[in-house]
Structure 1
Amino acid sequence: MATTFQKRLPQQNNLFIPFITAGDPHPEVTVDLAVTLQNAGASVLELGVPYSDPLADGPVIQEASKRALNNGMSIKKAMQLVPKMRKKGLQIPVILFTYFNPVLQLGLERFFTLLQENEIDGVLIPDLPYEESEGIRRLANQFGVAYISMVAPTSKDRIRKIAKSAEGFLYCVSSLGVTGMRSELPEGISDFLQEVKSAANIPIAVGFGISASDQVELLKGECDGIVIGSAIVNKIAGLETALLNQETRQQALQDFEEYVSSIVSPIITCEV
């Protein structure tokens, strides 16, 4: 079954894929942030479901999850934000980033029904190993949802196997450990990305630790897209007070857009 992800993706290279946490600092603000990111050149939106026991999230995103959970955010409420984003003009694909436990609590078929009903184009489940994902990948295909796969430098001989069944884009984890802003790219990243690219027939995007325009500049020729999470979530935290105030929100969103654009300008300004 053809996925809406394919229909909504505007291009196959120079992709900018930002991550935000649903409900941080407020559900209404999440909707505005999504549209602002599209205005800043986002190709795909990664919408994170806040979770109390995250395995892959570093301190910045953990704090965002706490704020969102304190606002009463849940996996169902996170999904229900997307139609509101669509009404405000969001046209790019939305990927739901969630851990497997909330999916199991909903039930797999109910989960995919809700994804479809709420105009969500894909799902990424970082704590579900490839070897245990066959059933959920089959359901994703049945519902026309792209199941986003991840590979890491430690994947080694599994890279080709994972790449073969990957959909949407292949998420390359640049370094070991949790998410977070890092001052330098890890050694060997170029060789790793070349190996992944040779195995994949869909765009490859690299994430974990990317937080500055010079890093984007270095990576743009090595991959098809960049995923940026912690730097964006950290900026949202810094603007929290202004974003929550109706009188100052518009200016805060403008500041946010300018900040994001400054990081991703090396790929957004590329010829596509």
Structure 2
Amino acid sequence: MEILELPRKGAKHWQSVNLKSRELCEEAVDKVKQKTMKRRILLKPVFRDYDKNNNGHVTRNQMRQALHSNGILLSDEELFSLEERFNNDMGFNYFWFLREVDPKPQEDALYTGFIEEMKKLNREKPKAKATRQEKDIVQIMAKVKGKVVRERIRAVEEAFTQSCLERSPLTIPLQHIPTKDCEKNFLNFDERKILGIAMQKLSKKPDLQMNLYPVLRDYDKENCGTISEHQFQKALILREMMDLISPNEFEVICKCFSFERGMRQEIDYRAFMKALDILYATDKYNPF
């Protein structure tokens, strides 16, 4: 199917021009289009500077100067073919020319974008990858044990108590002390064992324990429930409780009750004292 172009007012009937001139004009328009797109040249302001009457027309020489000043070099035949197509009684119509060189992009229908947005909203979100804490069986069991102890959940005894106690009657059972679910204060099996022994030692001195809380509270100037590790150590030394535990046991206690506050790790002394109270109350009514 052939598309015929209607003659423009004051211009030649383009379909009546010989085929060679039309092809040459199309090549010239394509050259200008490629160079303007590649170099991102704006021709409209240049033509407007020459258009003193603001009627959309410039002279032939002005058209040639506008193209030449922007580095668009065309042969005389190509320039003549452009003049033959876009000239009329008033001169070179650069509006017609720019309409061919800078065609407006075809805009998509509004509903197309709406459909794409709805597809994105209704699309299933990818499942998040499992973290190391969700795969490590030791950390999973520590979470379960912590929840059982904190919430007093009745569970199968074999899963949460020490085994083979019937073969060693002199062994003192160690109560599980839950930690917060955090990587920084997570304790492995050996560390939990050390923690249990250290806390049992400290809970055996109720008189020292009663006098410890006021000292810890005095260090807590902001009444936020946490103090620094150095202040925690000074309080234990002041109440002569550091002599009951080893440096390794002290480090494990600090790791268990550590709390990230701001950019540093502090000790949650309230949780520490609560654990001591639980151990003391348990040991008080222990018949063995």
Higher RCO structure (Cα 8 Å, ≥6 apart): 1
Q: Indicate the structure (1 or 2) with the bigger Cα radius of gyration.
A: 2
Bigger strand fraction = 1
TM-score, scaled to structure 2: 0.20
TM-score, scaled to structure 1: 0.21
Bigger helix fraction = 2
